[in-house]
Every structure is written in C-alpha cells, then in structure tokens.
Structure 1
C-alpha cells in the first residue's frame, strides 16, 4: 500500500518527504520492524518510542510517524509524518491497513466497570443461537467461526494492530456482527479509534482503574468516548451514571434503556432466585417474556437485560432472544462452579473491585441457608488503584471467613497490600484471627492473612464443611500471576481441582 493512501484517513498531519512510497506493514515496536514498514512512535506511560526511531531505521523502516517536531528527531532520509496523537493515529492506520473491517460489520461495543465479559458473551451467544454469523473479542479470548484465539495475558482491549487483524478475520469468515469488549483505557489510548461502532452498551459505572485515570471524572469521561460515536446506545437506567451518559449522546443517537428498579424500555420483573439459577420476566413494548436462566444473582439479570436490549436494537425479536438467554453457560471464571465430588460448593469469579466483590458475596449469602458459611479468598492487585484496597477489605463483612492473599502483586509486597485491606475490614468490624481459629467464631465475620495464594485456597477448602460455599475471587479466567516483573503461570481452577481431588480421595 502506498504511504499516501495509508495516511489519507488521518485528517490533519504534517508530512515531510515523499508519500509516494510503498509500505509493507505497520509496526509500533522498533524491535519488530520489518523492511518497508511504517514505524509508529508512541509516547507511553513509561517508554517514549520516539527514542527508538534509530533502531527502527536500522531494521528497515521505510517511514516514521510520530508526535514530536521533525527537527527534534533523527529519522534519516525516510518520510516523516507528524500527528497530534500517535496512539489514536495508529488505530486509524491499522483499520485502513486491514481494509476498514469494522465498516463491513455491525460492531457492538460493551463497556462498564463490571459485567462486560458476561454481557459480551451473552450478546454473542444470543446472536449465534439466532443463526447469525458473529465474532467475539473479550477479556477471555476471541471467537471467530468456532475458533478460539488467545489474545494474551491481562488483555481486555487488544492493541490497535491485533484488534483490526481480528476484525478483518471476522470479515473473511463472513461475520455480520462483532461483539467487542471495550475498556476505558482502550478508548483513552485510541486502541479502538479505527473502529466504527453500531451499538454502544454500558453495564454500570463504579470505582476502578484510578491508577490510570487518576480521578472518577476522567474515568467516566473515557467511557463516554464510546457513546459519542454510536448509532444506538444501550444504558442502564438503574445506574447512577445513566443521566450523565444520556447527556453525552447526539440527537441522532437512538437510546434504549434497561433496568430492574426504574421504568425502562427493557425491564426485568418478578425475579426468583435459587442455587440452580434465576427465573424472571422481561417486559418491553407491552410484551412480557418469561426467562429461566442458569446465571445467579440480580447483577446477572442486569447483564442479561443489557444483552437483550442490545440484540433488540439490532432487530432481533424476543422469540430469537429468549433461547440464547436460556441456554447460555457462564464464561470461564464468572461464577464458575468447580465440582470434584466434594460436599460443599466452590465458585471461581473475576470479581476484583469493591462493588463486584460485594455483589458476588451478597448473592451467595442470599442463596445459602443461614447456618452455612461463605469462605472467600481474594486479594488486591499491586501497582494498580491503591485507594480501593480498604473498600476491598470492607467487602469481607459479607462472608463468614475471608482469607486475604496475593492477586497480581507485581513489584509490591503482598503483606503491604493486605495491610491496606485490613484497614477497611477492621472499620466494619471484621475480626482478625489466626488460621487455626477461623472456625471458632460462627457469629462473626473474620479474616485470616495468607500471602501465598495456593496456601490460601488450600486453607479455605480444607475448612469448608457440608453445604458451605468457597468463593475464590479476583483471578477468574486469568492464566498468570504478575509477580516481581514476571508472569508466573497460574490457574485458580487447576489449583482448586488438585486440592479438591486430594481432599475427596482422603
């Protein structure tokens, strides 16, 4: 592709040198540059790859795009294109390079603090069950034509180049729809700047990612970027953020609301919960549809309403939506049951924010008899929003026993993270006990400290009794623990199954 054609969709840019040269590909990592590539230099949070332009040129870069003034850089005799925002430009360039695949798809973007992956998976399953050709890109993986594609560790929104490559693969496989989990960081960093969305769906808005956004206002504004570029917006009328996001919509954007407690376009009513799932009615446009789902809890009803409203706005009717809702299985690491023949329940969930923890633990309390225990195991991530750690500790009041442990500590010490969680736990009356005493206070919520996650899970399972529920929280589907700069292979599910098999055998 000629450089002139590639950059033509950027809008404002300052070129230096000829644009009538052939480009063999795009790279944003100087180490991966191939001869003939356009190298996109990005100023990141910790690394400024403008400093790596010489390495890119040595590897054969045919042109460079960046933000700095040309006179401040060494780019030899190759063309240089200056833009205001390299990250955002990369998203547009990646789309152009792969033939603008999102223009040939109906893209449903789902954002929110919690419930994104479940809602994306629900929309995908509803569409597929209705006979539609659909692809999915979520925190867990990508799905295209029955192929599962690994998107990497700790990745929700892939970077612009792999994202557009996945969308192009959907087009190649004749997909009509693409469901894309869309994060505030992905929006803010321009990873999705080349994506044309048809529908934008919000699950909810609560505290998270303040290590990146710094303030709740900046976090909220980042998510709002999605709704300024969609044909239809699906918003949660139960959420305090509803009015704010409603006000971000253009006059041309169609709004459909959903909710449980307020008068919404798509409303959930008559909820009945059991350990086997949930029964409820969806009421919309004077029509009531009865649903029996295997998902647990009110928050999952909200996720189902979000998915239903998203499919409804795409033109599906309730006879097409209902089968998808009723046959949907929970995604990996989302209220996932683990059964090795033990006489107590074990669940794995990705809940890793104060709000998500409280929701999961409240659901379990609602479903369990009063004389049965909830034993929770969770931590808080290192080098991430430290202000939420006391609130994470407060969530322990909803369990009988909580074991504070490691969850991606990165370069922080696990005991230091736990100490901050303890502050919150103590403020709400959760008592610290030794591991040998964790069952001696049946009338109180207690917590135990065990920094080693394997040992914490083992301690929880060994102390569970018939009818209790053990909730292993925070990691969900993830396959590594981030420790001291390394990604250590990890799976909550594998660790749990290994311990359970030993306990059942004995």
Structure 2
C-alpha cells in the first residue's frame, strides 16, 4: 500500500513539475529537515534573507508566505502534497522571489513529494526517535533525512547532533562536501560568534538560529549582516510562547518529541521559573506516530515538571487512556500525574491548580487548528482554550 502511495506522489510530482514549467530552476530553494527545530530554522532563514533585502517566500508548519501573501497550509501539514508545493514554487517565482524556504519532512522525502526540486541548500537540524516507526528502522529514517542533503548544492549539518557521524559517513561515501555548524565545537566550519546578535538564550533554539545563519552565509549574505538581522528575529508562533503572565504564567510550545520536551522544560525551569514556583505540564501523544517514544516523553517530562496532566493530542482512532498509560510508564512514581482525556478540561484543571509563581506548560498542539478524534477533525484553538480557562479561574 505504501509503495503505491509513493508511486502516486512520484507521478504527481513529475506532472506538477512539468505543469508549472520546472519552477525550481528559476528560484533558489532551501530545504530544512530534522526531527525538531525545522520550523524555527525555516523562519530564521526567511527572516535573515528578508532583513538583508531579498525577496523571499516560505512554506512552514505554521503557514505559507508567498511573496506578500500569507496562506494557511491545512490541518497537521508541514510539507504539502507535491502539486501544492510546485504551485507554491510557481507563485513564488511570479511574486519575484529569489529564494524559497521549504520545511521538509521525512514523509515528503520518502513519499517523493519533493521529487524534481533543485535544492540550492539544505539544513539538517537533528534526528531523534519521532517518525522512526514509519520507516523500516531508525537507520532507514536517518537515510531518508540525508536524501535532502545529498540532492542539495550546499548541505549543512549540525555537528552537535547525535547522528552527526552517521550523516557525515553517508555524505562522504557519496563524495558530497558539506558545511558543519556548532555552538562551541571549533572543529565545525561555522561556530557561534560575536556577529550573531540575539536575545534568545536557550541552546536548542540557538542551534536552530546558527543553522539558519550558516545557511544564509553560504547563500552569500555577509556574516555581519546575517548576524545583525537576527537581532530582530522572534520565535515562530507556539514556540516558547508566553500567553499569560500574572501571578502565574502559561507557556505554549509545539514540543511533541522526547528531545523537544526535555529541551523546552529544561529551559523553562532554568530561565523562567521563579523561586517557589512549580511546572505543571499538560501534554499527550498523537496516534499513528512512533509508539516507542511515549514512555520517553513521560520520562522527559518527569525530569523537570512538578505535576503532570496527561491528555489527548490527535488520538485519531486510538484510545486516549491507552496512550496516556504508555506515557505514564516513563513517569513511574517519580512525579504526581493525572489523566484527563478532554484537552480543554485538562488545560482548565492545570490553570485552576496554578498558584503564585507557577508555570503551566502546554505542549504538542500549539498553532494547530484542529484535534483529530475518532477519524474526524474537530476545531481546536489552544490559545482560546487558555483564554477560557483563565477567564473561568476561581
């Protein structure tokens, strides 16, 4: 069945490429892939190029920006289907864009949705467990991600990522030269330096910013100009997003992998939490993803959260309680946790229990506009849910 889907997407990509007259030959396409950090890196590249006076378009998980026009990309969509991607490319060329930044998933690569696109540059942020179940093995998942680097003119990889050596071997075996970046390792081609101006302090977002900086430098932007452009860069919607700040704080973040949850909660405990405050973490795990990660998500949460509320996150046709039980295996008896299948009620519960200096952290949904329940999509707004819960707080 999957083979047939891949063939369909390949044929669609071939047809769309011809229909839109090979649009990637008229614009410099930059692909961004990785398990975590794709969206932030994509937006940072877009921002640097825009601030440097370039005409640029972008497609990310959050939205598509084609010239001056902003468009929704659909439910749970990162890289759209091939016909849509090539249509966006054609529209971008008509809008006079010189660059097109495309957030690119492993699904898009394995299913041939970006087949035929000429990539001027490609950035790999990191690779962790998420989506590995949808490939034959984790090794296969890494190889799929590496495809984007192999078909780009300028591959750029994070030397600090755990899979750096594996990806390096794939590239060198294929006689592909690449550029590496690192926050501190001087063996990298590009390291964090005084030219980079930003108020963003956490390492995991600095890695994403550095990947964007490295990419733009390779695209010909002067180092000082690229670094200076980052001084006005802010994280995309739903990334460490403070949505309420009074006696207690509410933060929304898209983190939905063990690595991302670990990083965001660590950052919040280190730089946001005041003395005497607690972290109350509300999250779940989507169905039809890598089940192996669920206990790992619970373990990551338990390292930094004081109280955990497990809830729904696109459970589709799977039982929410079963998903929560799998997550809870990673929590064990280390931290108190509760289960509330209804996400709106879980958020309300967390906000009701919040005391002075506490931080309620909501992860997994962020900017998404729907919840997948029992085979259907239901309207969802995480921000509105917080607003309602704060308004009803006693």
How do 1:230-249 and structure 2 match up within 5 A? 230-249=152-171
TM-score (norm 1): 0.74
Q: Which runs of 4+ in 1 moved over 3 A?
A: 250-254
CA contact (8 A) 1:396 1:447 kept: no
1:266 and 2:156 correspond:
no
1:360 and 2:264 correspond:
yes
CA distance in 2, matches of 1:146, 1:252: 39
CA deviation after TM superposition for structure 1 residue 343, in Å: 2.0
1:473 and 2:379 correspond:
no
CA distance in 1, matches of 2:19, 2:384: 40
CA contact (8 A) 1:230 1:253 kept: no
> Corresponding residue for 1:497?
387
Q: Alpha-carbon deviations, 1:457-502, whole Å to 9, x = none? A: 0111111122221110001111000000100000111110122233
CA distance in 2, matches of 1:333, 1:119: 14
> Corresponding residue for 1:406?
312
Which moved further from structure 2: 460-469 or 163-172?
A: 460-469
CA deviation after TM superposition for structure 1 residue 248, in Å: 2.7
CA distance in 1, matches of 2:72, 2:121: 25
Say which SS state the counterpart of residue 475 (structure 1) adopts. coil
How large is the RMSD of aligned CA atoms in angstroms? Answer: 1.8
1:459 and 2:383 correspond:
no
How do 1:315-394 and structure 2 match up within 5 A? 315-339=220-244, 342-367=246-271, 368-394=273-299
Q: Structure 2: state its 5+ residue gaps.
A: none
Q: Indicate the structure with greater helix content.
A: 2
CA contact (8 A) 1:299 1:359 kept: yes
Which moved further from structure 2: 107-116 or 241-250?
A: 241-250
Say which SS state the counterpart of residue 87 (structure 1) adopts. helix
CA contact (8 A) 1:393 1:425 kept: yes
Q: Alpha-carbon deviations, 1:373-416, whole Å to 9, x = none? A: 11110001123211111111112221011111110010111111
CA distance in 2, matches of 1:85, 1:407: 30
> Corresponding residue for 2:83?
161
- Please point out which of 16, 25, 34 is paired with 1:94: 16
How do 1:443-458 and structure 2 match up within 5 A? 445-458=335-348
How many residues matched? 390
> Corresponding residue for 1:416?
322
- Please point out which of 104, 107, 126 is paired with 2:48: 126
CA distance in 2, matches of 1:290, 1:173: 30
- The structure with higher relative contact order (CA 8 Å, sep 6+) is 2
CA deviation after TM superposition for structure 1 residue 370, in Å: 4.4
CA distance in 2, matches of 1:482, 1:214: 25
CA contact (8 A) 1:122 1:324 kept: no
CA distance in 2, matches of 1:481, 1:246: 38
Q: Structure 1: state its 5+ residue gaps.
A: 1-42, 50-83, 269-281, 283-287, 431-444
CA distance in 1, matches of 2:224, 2:132: 41
CA contact (8 A) 1:390 1:421 kept: yes
